[in-house]
C-alpha cells in the first residue's frame, strides 16, 4: 500500500510513457503560472503550457523535465498528465531548439493565416521553454 503522503502519477507524452508510479509532489506550468499538487489535492482539470514539469518521487528525488502543451486531471489521489512532448535535460539539444526558435521568428515575419500564426506561436513557446530549461541549474 502506498504511503499516505503520496499519490499515483502518470505522465504520458505523445511518443512515450514518461512516469508511472507514486509521487510526493507534481509541479506543472499553466497559463496562470506554476501550480503544485500534493497528495489528496482537491479535484482539478487544467491546461498545461510549455515549460518545466517537476516530479518529486516517493524517494524524495526530483525529476525535472520540459513539457509541451497538454492537460492534466487530478482526482481520487491520482493524477494523469498528457503532454505533446516531455524531455529530460539529457534529451534536449540546445542547438536544435535555437534553430527552431529562429525558424519560428522568421515565420512570424512572413504573412500567415491565423492558424499558421498560432502554430508558429506554439513552436516559439516550445523552443523558448526548452532553451530556458536547458540553461537553468539542475537541483
- Extents of the domains making up the chain: 7-88, 94-135
Q: What confidence tens digit (pLDDT) does each residue in 3-44 have?
A: 569 999 999 999 899 999 999 999 999 989 999 999 999 999
Residue pointed to by grid coordinates 513552436: 123
What is the CATH class of 7-88?
mainly beta
State residue 29's pLDDT score.
Answer: 93
What's the whole-model pTM score? 0.69
CA atoms 77, 69, 30, 138: torsion sign = positive
Amino acid at each position: 500500500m502506498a504511503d499516505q503522503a503520496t499519490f499515483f502519477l502518470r505522465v504520458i507524452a505523445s511518443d512515450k510513457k514518461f512516469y508511472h508510479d507514486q509521487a510526493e509532489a507534481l509541479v506543472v506550468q499553466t497559463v496562470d503560472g506554476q501550480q503544485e499538487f500534493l497528495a489528496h489535492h482537491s479535484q482539478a482539470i487544467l491546461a498545461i503550457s510549455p515549460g518545466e514539469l517537476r516530479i518529486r518521487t516517493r524517494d524524495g528525488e526530483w525529476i525535472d523535465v520540459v513539457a509541451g502543451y497538454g492537460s492534466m486531471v487530478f482526482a481520487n489521489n491520482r493524477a494523469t498528465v498528457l503532454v505533446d512532448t516531455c524531455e529530460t535535460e539529457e534529451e534536449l539539444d540546445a542547438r536544435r531548439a535555437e534553430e527552431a526558435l529562429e525558424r519560428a521568428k522568421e515565420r512570424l515575419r512572413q504573412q500567415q493565416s491565423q492558424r499558421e500564426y498560432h502554430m508558429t506561436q506554439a513552436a516559439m513557446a516550445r523552443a523558448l521553454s526548452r532553451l530556458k530549461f536547458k540553461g537553468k541549474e539542475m537541483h
